Amino acid sequence: MLRFLIRRIALGILVMWMVTVLVFGIFFIGGNGSEVARRLAGRNASLQTLINITHRLHLDKPLVVQYWEFLKQLVWHHNLGYSYYHGQPVSTVLKEAFPITLSLALGAAVIWLILGVLSGVVSAVRRGSVIDRILTFIALFFYSLPTFVLGLLLLFLVYFQLAKRGIRIFPGSGYVPLTSNPLKWIESLTLPWLTLALVSAATYTRLTRGSLLEVLSEDYIRTARSKGLTERRVIFRHGLRSALTPVASQFGIDLGTLVGGAIVTETVFGLPGLGFTAIRSITNQDLPVIIGIVIVASAAVIAANILVDIVYAVLDPRVRLH
């Protein structure tokens, strides 16, 4: 298990290094030092600002030296750069946005995982029944529904209609930090959580149902039943563990992507997370923040996939041999 874990972490570090090379190539290569400095500082930067950027980032030196300084600042000093639009370090901008996106992603992930796996198990166990058909229809309905449409529907039905009658349970937009008021934190994220969870849970319902049906037809499941084990034990102890391996893979991809920024949901509900910040930075041509978000999002996806590989190995020990 230790060798398996070391290989996966080493592979993740390699991929992250390739991301830094790609980011540096896209944003720093192409044009002389003053042109790169102009892109980083924005359109309204003064001449002195451009000179300072060129000197501080070594843009007047060979590309190898520039990349080494870029990598050194990133790895050793955790320096993601300086946003001249915000007038503060990029890390400060992202520290304000990241907890919002993380709260959104983790809360929605818990809901969609519970809903998707449970409904998938019920649908597989009751295959061909009325319950199976209803759950399949619901899954297909939400799977076909765009996120922004569901978000606007929830705002209209749950927020606007209730607020019109003087009932204000959930806010229409904004975010309250967990440390400030836990109850208000839950209220501010309930509708965004449901928006992401209902759409994503549909995928997990279909994935769990198909995987569990395939596992339940295996010989070792028949053997377990022939030994007199209860159906509940056969399904949850033997069948579901093997059926969850593709679910774990999908969960890692979805969670890593969400941590990188749920752009549509954050925009609809006015949550100033990474996705919302990314859209605003693109509009304002705030290149340092865009670079920081790309690096943070890439690191989140890589970390999520390493965690999924560990869970995958626990669920199915055979993968440790590969």
What's the confidence (pLDDT) of residue 261? 63
Segment 9-35, tens digit of pLDDT = 888 899 999 999 998 888 888 766 677
DSSP secondary structure string, 233-268? HIIIIIIHHHHHHHHHHHHHHHHHHHHT--HHHHHH
82: β partners: 89
Closest by CA to 67, choosing from 19, 34, 13, is 19
Residue 26 near residue 72 (C-beta atoms within 8 A) = no
Mean pLDDT by 10 residues, the chain (322 residues): 79 91 84 72 73 79 86 84 83 89 89 90 86 88 85 83 73 79 87 89 88 81 77 76 79 76 82 87 85 88 82 65 52
Q: How far apart are alpha carbons 10 and 26 in whole angstroms?
A: 25
**What separation, in Å, do the N-terminal and C-terminal C-alpha atoms of the chain show?**
11
Residue 279 near residue 35 (C-beta atoms within 8 A) = no
Q: How far apart are alpha carbons 120 and 92 in whole angstroms?
A: 42
What's the confidence (pLDDT) of residue 253? 77
What's the confidence (pLDDT) of residue 18? 93
Q: Taking the CA atoms of 162, 163, 168 and 171 in sequence, report the sign of the dihedral they define.
A: positive
Within the chain, residue ranges assigned H as helices are 2-28, 33-41, 47-56, 63-75, 90-125, 130-143, 147-154, 161-164, 182-216, 219-226, 231-233, 240-259, 263-268, 274-284, 287-315
- Residue that is written with structure tokens 């309905």 in the block: 141
The phi and psi torsions of 148 (rounded to 5 degrees) equal -70, -30
- Residue that is written with structure tokens 């849970």 in the block: 201
What's the confidence (pLDDT) of residue 76? 84
Segment 111-122, tens digit of pLDDT = 999 999 899 888
DSSP secondary structure string, 121-147? HHHHHTTTSHHHHHHHHHHHHHHTS-H
**Cα-to-chain-centroid distance, residue 241:** 24
3-state secondary structure of 319: helix
3-state secondary structure of 89: strand
What's the confidence (pLDDT) of residue 318? 58
Domains of the chain: 2-79 (no CATH), 92-321 (1.10.3720.10)
